[in-house]
A and B are shown apart, each in its own frame.
Chain A
Amino acid sequence: SQQGEEDPQALSIQEGENATMNCSYKTSINNLQWYRQNSGRGLVHLILIRSNEREKHSGRLRVTLDTSKKSSSLLITASRAADTASYFCVLNSGGYQKVTFGTGTKLQVIP
């Protein structure tokens, strides 16, 4: 399968806490990306990590990638109510940049 699987499927935390989402996959990848989708709105790219990278930061986001274990994690620090959304692990694989979405983690941040 070229689809990532996120864990947990749903996560509820208090504002200010950290949120961690994990993604496991089975195929070789060019890169792995994380996207956010707010209810009723479009998909927004958050961060991209290449297969030869191990960790990347962007603001309150930290992504790790372990290609030997075929897994990635997304950490959101100091969460805010506005972070409430679905988060998708997205695999870029193959010579033509096939991009496939996982099942998503639904994050709820309680004010």
Chain B
Amino acid sequence: EAGVAQSPRYKIIEKRQSVAFWCNPISGHATLYWYQQILGQGPKLLIQFQNNGVVDDSQLPKDRFSAERLKGVDSTLKIQPAKLEDSAVYLCASTYGRGRGMHSPLHFGNGTRLTVT
């Protein structure tokens, strides 16, 4: 099966500019996650979708970050305006499971490395 696809792989922008990341999960995976991983740290969950609905965005900086998942498939994550501290790798992951009784691993894309100068 095809894996989780993310683009672009790298992005360099200046602070106060905007940027968007795209993710295509594995076909049939109901749940999609966006993580932010700052160098030397573990991934931090930004937002979680189940189908096209948001189930957790408690750690998403909503004043500058937004995300959507159209038709329960592809997803985009946007930052506007970017700050220096947004420099990180943005990871998308998907999983088949959608409820408490489902136990399935996450499949990760290769991530987008964002540098804000």
A interface SS class: strand
Interface members, chain B 15-67 (any A CB < 8 Å): 31, 33, 35, 41-45, 48, 50, 55-56
Contact of A97 among B41, B102, B108 (CB under 8 A): B102
Chain B interface residue count: which class? 20 to 34
Known: A97-B97, A97-B98. A48 touches B44 (CB 8 A): no
Chain A CB within 8 A of B103 CB: yes
Known: A33-B105, A48-B105, A104-B42. A99 touches B33 (CB 8 A): yes
Chain A CB within 8 A of B75 CB: no
24 CB contacts below 8 A, A to B, read A30-B103, A42-B109, A43-B43, A45-B105, A48-B103, A48-B105, A88-B43, A95-B99, A96-B55, A96-B99, A97-B95, A97-B97, A97-B98, A97-B99, A97-B100, A98-B45, A98-B48, A99-B48, A100-B45, A101-B35, A101-B42, A103-B41, A104-B41, A104-B42
